Structure 1
Amino acid sequence: MQLYPTDNSILNSGTAGQEKRLQQLLSYLAAHSPYYHQLFTQHQVQVDQIKTLSDLTRLPTTTKEDLQRRNWDFLCVPMDKVAEYTSTSGTLGGPVTIALTDNDLNRLAYNEYLSFTCADGRAGDVYQLMLTLDRQFMAGIAYYMGLRRMGAGIIRLGPGVPALQWETIKRLQPTAIVAVPSFILKLMQYAKDNGIDINQSSVKKAICIGENIRNTDFSLNILGRKITDSWTIKLYSTYASTEMQTAFTECGQGKGGHHQPELVIAELLDDNDRPVAPGTPGELTITTLGVEGMPLLRYKTGDICQYLTEPCACGRTSMRLSPIMGRKKQMIKFKGTTLYPPALFDLLNERDEILDYVVEVYANEVGLDEVLLHIVPAETTEECDHRIRAYLQARLRVSPHIKYVTIEEIQKMQFPEMMRKAVKFLDRRS
């Protein structure tokens, strides 16, 4: 069953096109999804009465916990129709399996084709993939298939090993890389230590995954500035999740991740599951369009961001998302101050005295949040310690606990067994 468009017809049909596909999705879920069939019955949902996008608020939401608890009740096809098994990273609780059909894999390729072309990609580019390409990681196969569809060249090198990355760049001359921004800094440091002129390399742009490179006003944050201050390279930010099988990717204007309306309906909701206004933080809640294996309806991602509706200077008119401000369940209330991990990461990235870090949060004996920073210092001196503590006190107005560790110790914390992403945040709260 072909559930997603293969041309731009729906892009030109606006809200009416999304509403038609929403009605198709509701009928499909009622007929094929054990989870949603039960949910509709429980809440007395008549799917034929849901006609418009504004009617979505009449439907219940779905959470990560629902997906974890009843994973296989979301499957809408027989097991013999599953072509690929992927899984979430398990950052918040246990990992979730997302099963894809052949049609879903084609949709995934279409999604990334749109994303790479949005980020000024073209057939003549060669992309070096500096990310996990196995371990059921959807993004790895998605990028690969999207680049193939676009007609670009691909170098599947995988994560880490700066020496090998630079040797391959020198030998194969890629024009672009796909990488985690903090790893790009490690690439730059290796180049500096080994006499490599990064601005004479073939790489002219980077698709940045997994970490913010911008503030909510779309200016480059500390991490983004650290890259571009030394490397004349164009950065493009992208946001996606395994569950929604869709990405929000920046164009060359760098003013937010562009919505792909033919593939997903996006809502931003307040704590009462009501839509928020443009420019107001809300929880991104998505409804997948065109997914055959495990479609989702009003799925709350847990990610807090803002949205804009005015047309972009690139000519696209779809909604744009701001950088993710934080995850709802990772919010920290520390000595009267509300913090999200990305804001802490920005502060820690800013200081040359801090080479690497992991942020740990735990509950104290009275149930309040405590923050412990595991830091690799540039120097093990009292002066360096004083600069770090004074800086954090000035910027946070509160003093987190600090534990200095070695590079070897931080790497063990960041890469526990079977994890495919670097762990920068440890939530020890029950």
Structure 2
Amino acid sequence: MIPKIEKASLDEIKAFQEQKLLEVLTYVSEKSSFYKNLFAKEGIDIKNIKTLEDLNQIPVTTKEDLQKFNDDFLCVPVSEIIDFATTSGTLGEPVTFGLTDNDLDRLAYNEAISFDCAGIKEGDVVQLMTTIDRRFMAGLAYFLGLRKMKVGVIRVGAGIPELQWDSIRKYKPTYLITVPSFLLKLIEYAEAHTIDFNNSGIKGAICIGESLRNQDFTLNTLSKKITEKWNIKLFSTYASTEMSTAFTECEHGNGGHHHPELIIVEVLDEQNQPVKNGELGELTFTTLGIEAMPLIRFKTGDIVKFHDQPCTCGRTTLRVGPVIGRKQQMIKYKGTTLYPPAMNDVLNGFENIETHIIEISTNDLGTDEILIKLAVKEQSEVFLHEIKDHFRAKLRVTPKIEYCSRESLNTLIFNPMSRKPIHFFDLR
């Protein structure tokens, strides 16, 4: 069931969003201490903001603003907060988000239309392979969305391949929600224990936290490694706690679909100006329909490209392409601009590599230095040369590479204080 607005003409979508923009600006100017102060300080009269283009009159909101003035963004009494969630803190101090009862309903609606986008329907059973605790919004959002769709949920949580396979065999799920690299661990376990995973009944996996595609929407190395062995459909999804909204692929796999009833999106350059159509920039959004902590022009730090051709699925809304990388994680190395996902993709192409981390530091000349630490099945100088040649061919540069034990790297990657595996360490 595609919402009517997502099949409307671009002019109708724009008019609809401009009406919603007026509502959210009126709301925050009355309820949010942060935006009240900002509008007063900048001399902003919201009556002058009538179109999406007029949003340019409002300064952007940053992660630093959220960290520094967290409580000032709250628009309702604390007594109305039903759920307290925090951001993952990947790029700084975690921020707390409160959600009201209506916000939880909106979150459920968002996930329901997102999962529907990926082909999940009433009657399916979904195995949830991500945490629902530790103030993590995503796990709760998935559960609420699936419940709204009348879809069965198996809350297994993260890790433990044996438990995942026991659950798959017992409850016969049709879809999985997981970090894609964990699917490789499931395949490895299945092969070692003669589990016929291609006859397990799994049709697809909604993948979070890691990229599945190249910029032209072809499968990247990680996705190819999964699908070459396991005949399942992979769906990419992009979301964040701050936006309480997801961009999920449909079966055509051409980017995450925008839900215009939930969020206004922009792609901005370094000067906070909209980029030209089809150019890369920083994803910036304004939330719609949120009661507790709406955000206006919030810069995500994620570098993306918009695609606005209508999709074969019938949706006319724009689509968000694969994230190139985090703006703060951009690396300038020997005259070349790099982001961690591109390096991950190179490393994922080697069967001999068990795990890795990427460390960025500043050298004596004040420029970026890259050190890649690898745990491999078999160490050799020949293999090191092979990796370096591959980096040179794919990314035009060769970072420093050293061998480490799998145990020493896993201690860093699986930090108990983090909800996601950490493969990138910025020491600059």
Which TM-score band applies after superposition, normalised by the shorter structure?
over 0.9
The number of equivalent residue pairs is 424
CA 1:168 to 1:368, structure 2 compared with 1: closer, same or farther past 3 Å?
same
Name the CA distance, whole Å, in 1 between partners of 2:278 and 2:352.
35
Deviates more, 1:342-351 or 1:371-380: 371-380
Give the CA deviation at 1:340.
Answer: 0.4
User: Does 1:139 pair with 2:109?
Assistant: no
Task: Name the residue aligned to 2:379.
Answer: 380
Q: Deviations over 1:230-284 (max 9, x none)?
A: 1110111000010000000000010010000000000011111111223210110
1:179 is aligned to 2:173 = no
Give the superposition deviation at 1:298: 0.4
Structure 2 distance, partners of 1:148, 1:205, is: 19
Quote the residue 1:74 is aligned against: 73
Q: Secondary structure at the match of 2:285?
A: strand
The normalised TM-score by structure 1 is: 0.96
Equivalent residue, structure 2, for 1:157: 156
In structure 1, how many angstroms separate the alpha carbons of the residues matched to 2:100 and 2:85?
11
CA distance in 2, matches of 1:183, 1:423: 14
Please tell me whether residue 365 in structure 1 is matched to residue 353 in structure 2.
no
1:11, 1:262 within 8 Å by CA — same for their partners in 2? no
- Provide the alpha-carbon RMSD of the alignment: 1.5
Structure 1 gaps of 5+ residues are: 1-6
Equivalent positions of 1:13-412 (< 5 A) are 13-412=12-411
Q: Find the aligned partners of 2:288 and 2:281 in 1 and give their Cα distance.
A: 21
Whether the aligned pair in 1 keeps the contact of 2:6 and 2:316 (CA below 8 Å) is no
For 1:117-150, what per-residue CA distance to the aligned partner results, in whole angstroms no more than 9, with x for missing partners? 0111101111001111111110000000000001
Q: Distance in 2 between matches of 1:77 and 1:10?
A: 30
Runs (4 or more) in structure 1 with deviation over 6 Å come to none
Report if the CA contact (8 A) 2:5-2:13 is conserved.
Answer: no
| SS of equivalent to 1:350 | coil
> How far off its partner does 1:11 sit?
6.7
What letter is aligned with 1:250? Answer: E
Structure 1 residues 298-342: Cα deviation after superposition (integer angstroms, max 9, x where no partner) = 000010010111110000000101000111110001121110011
The CA distance in 1 between the partners of 2:75 and 2:292, in whole Å, is 5
Is the 8 Å Cα contact of residues 256 and 321 (structure 2) preserved in structure 1? yes
Quick check: 8-17 or 317-326, which moved more?
A: 8-17
Could you list the per-position Cα deviations for residues 134-169 of structure 1 after superposition, in whole angstroms to 9, with x for gaps in the alignment? 111100000000000011110000000111111111
1:10, CA displacement in angstroms?
8.4
Amino acid at match of 2:220: N
Letter in 2 for 1:153: G
Deviation of 1:374 after TM superposition, in Å, equals 1.4
Displacement of 1:408 in angstroms is 1.6
User: What's the CA shift for 1:58?
Assistant: 1.3
Q: Which amino acid aligns with 2:238?
A: Y
Shift of 1:91: 0.5
Q: SS at the partner of 1:136? A: coil
The one-letter amino acid of 1:408's match is E
- Are 1:353 and 1:388, in contact at CA under 8 Å, matched by a contact in 2? no
Deviation readout 1:3-54 (Å, 9 max, x if unpaired): xxxx746875522211111101111111010100011011110011111111
Name the stretch that deviates more: 221-230 or 389-398. 389-398
State the alpha-carbon separation in 1 of the partners of residues 387 and 51 from structure 2: 53
Partner of 1:418: helix, strand, or coil? coil
Quick one: distance in 2 between partners of 1:393 and 1:193? 35
**C-alpha separation in 1, matches of 2:202 and 2:251:** 16
Gaps of 5+ in 2: none
What are the Cα deviations for residues 167-192 of structure 1, in whole angstroms up to 9, with x where unaligned? Answer: 11111110000000111111111111
Partner Cα separation in structure 1 for residue 393 and residue 145 of structure 2: 45
Which segment drifts farther, 276-285 or 390-399?
A: 390-399
Q: CA deviation at 1:404?
A: 1.5
Distance in 2 (CA, whole Å) between partners of 1:105 and 1:419 is 24
- CA spacing shift, 1:268–1:262, aligned 2, 3 Å: same
- Per-residue deviation at 1:403? 2.5
- Work out whether residues 302 and 328 of structure 1, in 8 Å CA contact, stay in contact via their aligned partners in 2: yes
Q: Distance in 2 between matches of 1:288 and 1:238?
A: 18
Take 2:383 and 2:341, find their aligned partners in 1: how far apart are those partners? Answer: 24
CA-to-partner distance for each residue in 1:316-371, whole Å, 9 max, x for gaps?
00010100011111000112111001101100101112121111111112221111
Structure 2: distance between partners of 1:109 and 1:169: 25
State the alpha-carbon separation in 2 of the partners of residues 394 and 282 from structure 1. 26
Amino acid across the alignment from 2:54: D
Give % identity: 52
Residue of structure 2 equivalent to 1:3:
none
Alpha-carbon distance between aligned partners in 2 of 1:142 and 1:225, rounded to the nearest angstrom: 28
Distance in 1 (alpha carbons) for counterparts of 2:7 and 2:40: 33
